[in-house]
Amino acid sequence: MFATLTLVACASAPLPPTESLNAARDAIASAEQAEARQYAGAELEEANRHLAAANEAVAAERMAEAERLAKQARVAAELAIARTEAAKAAAINREMGRGAEALDEEMQRQGDQQ
């Protein structure tokens, strides 16, 4: 009887949201590799805060809260990646625009010389 109660007690213990925590960690690592700290620092910090809170919730055995916080961390990291990519694309677009303007000016100069 004691063994049955022990088995039931162990089986009902909530499990940490390992998959969500790993997904959040991976997303944060990807954001850091994408240079999100430079372009989307606030979003990256938010992701790290949510992940830290998720880990605290796991330690306190509040698994539903940990799951929610881990998902929020992943979403914030993905937002940081998207904002970083958008900022990089905008910078490339500006540089290409400057290059096109310089080419136009050079073509006008050459046309004026002929």
29-88: per-residue pLDDT in tens?
Answer: 999 999 999 999 999 999 999 999 999 999 999 999 999 999 999 999 999 999 999 999
DSSP state of 14: P
CA distance 44 to 51: 11
2 occurs within a structural domain: no
CA distance 21 to 51: 7
Domain of residue 34 covers 14-113
CA distance 60 to 75: 23
Position 4 pLDDT exceeds 70 = no
- Please tell me the predicted confidence (pLDDT) of residue 2: 52
Domain count across the chain: 1
CATH number of the domain enclosing 70: 1.20.1270
- Please tell me the predicted confidence (pLDDT) of residue 12: 66
CA distance 10 to 4: 10
* 7-17: pLDDT as tens digits: 455 556 789 99
- Please tell me the predicted confidence (pLDDT) of residue 110: 85
5 occurs within a structural domain: no
- Please tell me the predicted confidence (pLDDT) of residue 68: 99
